[in-house]
Structure 1
Amino acid sequence: MRVLLVDDHALFAKSLSIALCDFPEIDQFSSTKDIKNLENHITTEQPDILLIDINLGGLTNEDGLMLTQHLLKHFPEQKIVILSGYNLPVYHKEAKRIGAKGFISKDVEPDELLHILMAIRNGTTYFPQEKIFIEDLTEGEKKVLELVSTGAKRKEIAKQLFISERTVSNHLQHIFEKLQVGSTVEAVTKAIQIGYISPVK
């Protein structure tokens, strides 16, 4: 199996290379930070699995999910798996929506990672089982929630989003209902836990 990793952390890439190359099932493991020439790498190396981190640092203006979506337009048959430390339900769902074949936490043990990658190469998909179901927030609700997390008051939020304070209150009520919480503090806490407020800063 040929594996290509896209990650901005050289130490992680080296560690993963050492771990995976111990397995006879891995014919080739390579990594790259060269986003500009990534399509050429894919064409040349023809990886069975392309592993992409979500947070690519300063390598590109895109995060790993956006990059995945872009690549799948050019390489629709390429099996892409998100390998990330940001193991959050919102990211799992987005990865699945855009056509990735799996989402794997960087906490995974090497032998388990190999098992998952082999299964994906053979046609399955892998996404963590969600223990909670959260109704999707609208874009307007997400914006209100992000501003609430910065400490902004309803009047400030209304001014920034060019909406009325009543609309802000309605958004907050819907957010509370969807996240099953009773306060803005609980809403922000839960939103961080499930990924609506991104830890990638």
Structure 2
Amino acid sequence: MPVPARRRFLVLAALAGLGTRAVAQPDGADAGWAALARPGAIVLFRHATAPGVGDPPQFRLGDCGTQRNLSEEGRAEARRLGEQFRRRGIQVGAVLTSQWCRARETAQLAFPGQVREEPAFNSTFGRGGGDERQTARARALLHDWRGPGALVVVSHQVNIQALAGVSTSSGEGIVLRRTADGRLEVAGRVTS
């Protein structure tokens, strides 16, 4: 999907202050997938469609009945996501997910048998700016990734914003690549 010039400018401006560098990509859906196929790639996915915002007041981690969960549309998105990886022959080295049910279910439907929970990617929504130590831990996990295969992370919009400096839609992924000086930069976007 083409990124309008104004939106591209705003994204670049936002990233300038966050230590993550955005790189202008050719228009078209394949740019993100091509970047993801490169060795050591990282993709940060927002969980698939789960109607609503945040979680109900009675939210309890580990109890999906108290959380905002995937819709049937979201489950179909997650399955299509995994199918895209398989169809494109993208090797997955590891799949890390938030412990929130909607993120975990997205990861399990897309990449069955490969999923590991990682609390560093749990939602920081509603924590008044998030948890800086948690974001630092997530950033360290990303920086340490060298492969083989792609690192797939399923998390939340607020976390991806903190890590990559860009917003995502449900089921959308931000592909990161390592620069020659070791920093991570945004290389593209992918969707199912």
TM-score with structure 2 setting the length: 0.29
Structure with the bigger percentage of helix? 1
Where is the strand percentage greater, Structure 1 or Structure 2?
2
